[in-house]
Amino acid sequence: MGGFAKKSYNIHSKNRYMKIQSNCLLIFLIALPNLIYAQFYLGASSSANIGVNGRSLQEFLLIDATVNQSAFENTLIEKKASFGGGFLISPLIGYQANKHIGFELQVGRYKTNTVSSTITYNNPSDDKVSISMSGKVFTIRPSIIGYIYKSKPLIYAKLGANYSNCEFTTQTSRQKNQTQTSILINGGQSLGISLGIGSEFSLTNRIYLRTELGYVHANYFPEKGTFTKYDVNGVNQLPNMSDKQKTIHYVKEGNVEQTYLGAALDAGTHLSPQIPISSFGLSIALIYKFNKRKTKS
Amino acid sequence: MNKIFLICINILIASISKAQFYMGVQSSYNIAVQGRTLGDFLLIDGSFSNTTNDNVFKDKRSSFGGGLKFGAIIGYQVNQYIGIELNSNFHKTNQVSTKATEGNNTTNMSMNGNIISLNPALVGYFFNGNPKIYSKLGIVYNSGKFIYNYNLKTASNQESYSYNLNKGSALGLSFSFGADWKLKQRISIRTELCYISANYYPKKAYLEKYEENGQNQMPSINPKDFEITYSKSGNSDGEYYGSALGEGTLLRPQIPMNGLGLNVGVIYLFRKK
């Protein structure tokens, strides 16, 4: 009985395998005519972006304010900070699988926009703190492309992931005692979503001009901050500081003292802050298309 | 000039031969994505020690883009390439809950929202067979309210209150990718993956409930004392965790409403022109 069951199972399994094989063959045969459209391409793209979807980064003191210390009156002004702005130049490589879909990979590095703020202290002593923050972002964007209009110009939509590795610098300058600090914020990554809609115009048989509107939604969660400058009245204070006093750890969970504005700039351990790097931009690219793959009819 | 005009008219007529109105209903299940720690609403797991000044916080990335949506669709496929569509939805958001402990005292906090959203979008068709495959790029406008609940239990006391945060709006972007499966000549089933990126900015918050040991404390409170105004700039005491819940005027907080969802809908196609 057991042997029969085993044999029956083997036959059933073999039939199933044959069925899978024939289905695969059928899918391949359906895909074959589409492959005449398959095409590799390479290009270079440059885009001008603006930061969008920002928020008041109070933990980095990126907020315009006047503070009246004697009356405990703080007037804060909202400042939506996002570091998605900047100028990105990136090479791209792509593969149009058939007339409906394609894949693309874009790699680039850009210097972000700078966000600056001023905090003015009135009473009892007049004082002013200027804060600015900017970064350098390395980004990788793999995406899937759907072709909407397959003639001239070629119109497409893109949906992809956005992986970024970031490094930010925040600088503060305080009038009182001529105090200047600079903190390098790095470690950690950002994973977001990228969307695009664009068109391709042929210049020659193989060279195409591409214009694209793109949107990226991403946030960066740093892991570490390090004081790289700490001057008081022009005297460097870093040699007198211990490693503990010079280092900030951003963690997902931990013992933190983060209960006030600007806490993310203090040495010690803090909850990982979120730095928005969402962007909206217009890119122009030049594309070189390789020979189309030839298939037998 | 006339020739160009005639060619344009000809292209337009050829395009409109594919034009089609449609209406439908849809429902979607969404998960919240791209959240952040909302320390200003105390939506953070933590344990506090007053004696040692040790505060252990735990990152809780909150977004209110999750939950269920029900709504209506009206659309117009202009030609075989593009169309326009308007979705209106009622969205009951996911709830974010947190817990903070301090010795024997426990505080539970939670927040969720009821939102009406309008989503006009441009539709691009990749494949016009069955299924019809498309992608949508649109704008999302959200309006509604959020409810914030706070409950503190100590050995001898229990205190709870609720805030209603409202009069705000959220403007964001939506991107969808989907397929319409024709069941009959006029009826299609729609399946769609949708991503929404938006942030809600409330303008006001009112204390709706305030109880101590089960006793309503609202009659003894001047309503003005527990009204919060969120502004873009102003005199603010928003310097500490949970400050978005302090009475007075505060800098408006940002509530993330990013979500990724799966829509299922039924579409009725009107007669083609």
In order of their start, the domains of chain A are: 38-289 (2.40.160.20)
How do residues A163-209 score in pLDDT, each as one tens digit?
999 999 999 999 888 899 999 999 988 999 999 999 999 999 899 99
CB-based contact, B240 to chain A, within 8 Å: yes
Instruction: State the pLDDT at residue A29.
Output: 59
Burial (0-12, 13-18, 19+ Cβ within 10 Å), B178: buried
Question: A76: which chain B residues are within 8 Å (Cβ-Cβ)?
Answer: 233-234, 236, 238, 251
Cis preceding linkage at A222, omega within 30: no
CB-based contact, A215 to chain B, within 8 Å: yes
CB-based contact, B62 to chain A, within 8 Å: no
CA-CA distance, B171 to A137, in Å (whole number)? 27
CA-CA distance, B266 to B183, in Å (whole number)? 10
- pLDDT above 70 for B98: yes
User: Which one-letter amino acid corresponds to residue A57?
Assistant: L
Q: What confidence category does residue A258 fall into, taking pLDDT thresholds of 50, 70 and 90?
A: low
Nearest to B39 by CA among B115, B98, B108: B98
Average the pLDDT over A46-54 and give the result. 92
Average the pLDDT over B136-141 and give the result. 93
CB contact under 8 A, B241 and A100: no
- pLDDT above 60 for B216: yes
Q: Which of residues 83-122 of B touch A (CB under 8 A)?
A: none
CA-CA distance, A97 to B193, in Å (whole number)? 22
CATH code: domain B2-269 is: 2.40.160.20
User: Which one-letter amino acid corresponds to residue A269?
Assistant: T
Instruction: State the pLDDT at residue A16.
Output: 60
Instruction: State the pLDDT at residue A17.
Output: 57
Query: What is the number of CB-based contacts under 8 A between chain A and chain B?
Result: 112
- DSSP code at position B272: P
How do residues A145-158 score in pLDDT, each as one tens digit?
988 887 888 899 89
How do residues B39-67 score in pLDDT, each as one tens digit?
888 888 888 776 666 678 888 889 999 99
Instruction: Say which residue, A272 or A162, is predicted with more confidence.
Output: A162
Q: Where are the domains of chain B?
A: 2-269
CA atoms within 13 A on the CB side of A94: 28
Closest by Cβ to A78, choosing from B135, B197, B251 = B251
Instruction: State the pLDDT at residue A2.
Output: 40
CA-CA distance, B78 to B137, in Å (whole number)? 16
| A252 contact partners, CB below 8 Å, separation of at least 6 | A271, A272, B58, B59
- The token duo for A14 is 């073999």
CB-based contact, B237 to chain A, within 8 Å: yes
Selection from A1-15, A118-132, B177-191 with the highest mean pLDDT: B177-191
CB contact under 8 A, B57 and A72: no
- pLDDT above 90 for A214: yes
CB-based contact, B135 to chain A, within 8 Å: yes
Cis preceding linkage at B131, omega within 30: yes
Taking the alpha carbons at both ends of chain A, their separation in whole angstroms is: 51
> How far out from the chain centre does Cα A26 lie?
40
Beta pairing partners, B220: none
What ipTM describes this predicted complex? 0.79
- The token duo for A297 is 């009819």
How do residues A21-37 score in pLDDT, each as one tens digit?
666 566 655 655 555 55
Beta pairing partners, B166: B204
CA-CA distance, A111 to A116, in Å (whole number)? 15
Burial (0-12, 13-18, 19+ Cβ within 10 Å), B53: exposed
CA-CA distance, A253 to B218, in Å (whole number)? 37
Nearest to B83 by CA among B74, B96, B92: B74
Between A61-75, A181-195, B191-205, the lowest mean confidence (pLDDT) is in A61-75
